[in-house]
Amino acid sequence: MKHVAALLCGVLFAAGLMVSGMTDPARVVGFLDVQAWDPTLMFVMGGALLVTTPTFFFAKRQTQPVLDAAFRVPVKTEVDRRLVAGAALFGAGWGLSGLCPGPALVSVATARLELVAFALTMVVCLFAVRTADVRRVLRSLESKATRVDGDTHEAALREATVGDE
């Protein structure tokens, strides 16, 4: 049931992006253009806040979510270099191209070559960053595990990689 709900939410989100015109990069670029300002994005975000704000207020009062055993909230709360760099890259890409990940994936349905190429490049880069992160963590674990003896080293590596499979 959880997967069906996620699919329905995704379809609803995609439909909202298409109906509001947010899959058109010119809308976002128009919002950022001070000479020919297009306020459409502001109204879409305002509408999203009208739905999201009471929903979060309601959810905070619940002891557990409807379709899961527990709420999953981020445990990392500090602002670090990786977060700032990622936000800067996201903002630069969004401002230059007029697309962020949600509308980019939805725009694949239009079959416009430049939008499909953007979405494909985005997905490839996401996997490349994920792979680099996994390698960085494994190198860190290996350097810590080399401080212990033989079998313990291999056991520590196996234990550390079990959750990544």
What is the reported pLDDT for 141?
Answer: 81
What is the reported pLDDT for 165?
Answer: 46
Contacts of 16 (CB under 8 A, 6+ apart): 22, 44
pLDDT tens column, 112-122: 888 888 888 88
pLDDT at 150 over 70: no
Taking the C-alpha atoms of residue 138 and residue 81, their distance in angstroms, rounded to an integer, is: 20
Give percent of the chain with pLDDT exceeding 70.
Answer: 87
Tell me which of 38-52, 75-89, 134-148 is least confident.
134-148
Q: Are 68 and 6 in contact (CB under 8 A)?
A: no
What is the reported pLDDT for 162?
Answer: 55
What integer best gives the mean pLDDT of the chain? 84
What is the reported pLDDT for 154?
Answer: 60
Give percent of the chain with pLDDT exceeding 90.
Answer: 20
pLDDT at 145 over 80: no
Which tokens sit at 8? 């329905």
What is the reported pLDDT for 47?
Answer: 92
Q: Are 157 and 145 in contact (CB under 8 A)?
A: yes
pLDDT tens column, 46-105: 999 999 999 989 988 999 988 888 888 888 889 999 889 989 988 888 888 888 888 888
What is the reported pLDDT for 151?
Answer: 55
Query: From its phi and psi, is residue 30 left (phi > 0), alpha (psi between -120 and 50) or beta?
Result: alpha
C-beta neighbour count of 108 within 10 angstroms: 15
What is the reported pLDDT for 53?
Answer: 95
- What is the 8-class DSSP label of residue 165? -
**DSSP readout, 80-137?**
-HHHHHHHHHHHHHHHHHS--HHHHHHHGGGT-HHHHHHHHHHHHHHHHHHHHHHHHH
Instruction: Give the closest residue to 112 by CA, choosing from 98, 94, 124, 128.
Output: 98
pLDDT at 109 over 60: yes
Contacts of 36 (CB under 8 A, 6+ apart): 30
Which tokens sit at 157? 């590596």
